[in-house]
A and B are shown apart, each in its own frame.
Chain A
Amino acid sequence: QKEVEQDPGPLSVPEGAIVSLNCTYSNSAFQYFMWYRQYSRKGPELLMYTYSSGNKEDGRFTAQVDKSSKYISLFIRDSQPSDSATYLCATIKTSYDKVIFGPGTSLSVIP
């Protein structure tokens, strides 16, 4: 079993839709949770960085962590074609550990 699992998609939504991207993880020791966005043929870029359970909002993006069910989500409101990318969830136990990346979910937002 992989430590972090994601549905690879592809996920296709119309412009303006609310998008929900999800990950599950297996190790309850993970404390920090990240979402990265990767455009085609580019390196990933950090979108959201959260610690422990709860919600974090940044503009149209909301990251949600539920440690009791080992479930992390990224919500995108009013999705735009420029949001079309692969979204990778990631997690880590402490700041001295290696980041564990999920395989990524491919998202297409259709105008």
Chain B
Amino acid sequence: EADIYQTPRYLVIGTGKKITLECSQTMGHDKMYWYQQDPGMELHLIHYSYGVNSTEKGDLSSESTVSRIRTEHFPLTLESARPSHTSQYLCASSESAGDQFFGPGTRLTVL
């Protein structure tokens, strides 16, 4: 079944820890995105990729990094988590650009 998965769904972690948020899609889409969204607030694009070995920073400055070694996988890593990183992180993929399929999100809390 075509879908996009994010793990973990919820994560509570202490300051200074390294974390990786996983995102996988089974649709074979070349384009993948990471957004950050605080409750009731706008979506902010933090990273995107148009294919394997291609990654770009988005509009919102982020201390995270991403990699795209396989088409279906687009993990996001925070080397040292801080309370300011507390937010919801949404992964999306698309074949064209407008019809983005979003994952369920990872709600991150950094204590």
A90 to chain B, nearest CB (A): 7
Nearest CB in chain B to that of A40: its residue? B39
Interface: A32 (CB within 8 A)? yes
A-B contact count (CB 8 A): 53
Is the Cβ of A101 less than 8 Å from the Cβ of B43? Answer: yes
- A92: which B residues are within 8 A, CB to CB? 97-98
Interface size on B, residues (CB 8 A): 23
Interface size on A, residues (CB 8 A): 23
Q: Given A41, A42, A46, which contacts B100 in the complex, CB threshold below 8 Å?
A: A46
Nearest CB in chain A to that of B88: its residue? A41
Is the Cβ of A98 less than 8 Å from the Cβ of B97? Answer: yes
A71 to chain B, nearest CB (A): 18
Interface of A is mostly: loop
Interface: B74 (CB within 8 A)? no
Interface of B is mostly: loop
- B100: which A residues are within 8 A, CB to CB? 44, 46, 99
Seen from chain B, the residues whose Cβ lies within 8 Å of a Cβ on chain A are 40-43, 45, 48, 50, 58-59, 88, 90, 92, 96-105, 107
What 5 pairs across the A-B complex have the smallest Cβ distances? Answer: A43-B102, A95-B96, A103-B42, A32-B98, A101-B43
- 19 more contacts with CB within 8 A, not counting A42-B104, A43-B103, are A34-B99, A41-B88, A41-B105, A42-B105, A43-B102, A44-B102, A46-B99, A49-B98, A49-B99, A90-B98, A95-B98, A98-B59, A98-B97, A99-B45, A99-B97, A99-B98, A99-B100, A103-B42, A104-B42
